Amino acid sequence: MRITNTAVSETMRVLTGKIVDQQEKLEIMEQRLQALERSAHSESKHIKIRQAEVSSVAFTACVSAQDVINIGHGQTIVFDQVKTNTGNAYKRTT
């Protein structure tokens, strides 16, 4: 079996073409990766900003009435003694 210069040249041409194709695909993938990294960084900054905007919410309240024994499902309970209400989270009307 004899390999000719023409066969070697053709094989080299095909392999070179495949390498060029792979390089182009790699460049496209690198560009996509960079775009995703920029997007992720931007989203991370946005999340941090939103988290910083969230205010504290807490309340402590109790009911002093003795007649609140049987509370039904879905029944609204109005606390008449509000000890703390940070962030005005508790409202007696809702």
CB 87 within 8 A of CB 58: yes
**What digits encode the pLDDT tens for the residues 28-45?**
999 999 999 999 999 999
Quickly count: other Cβ atoms within 10 Å of residue 79's Cβ: 14
Its pTM stands at 0.49
**What digits encode the pLDDT tens for the residues 52-69?**
776 778 888 888 776 677
Domain boundaries, the chain: 1-54, 56-94
Does residue 23 sit in helix, strand or coil?
Answer: helix
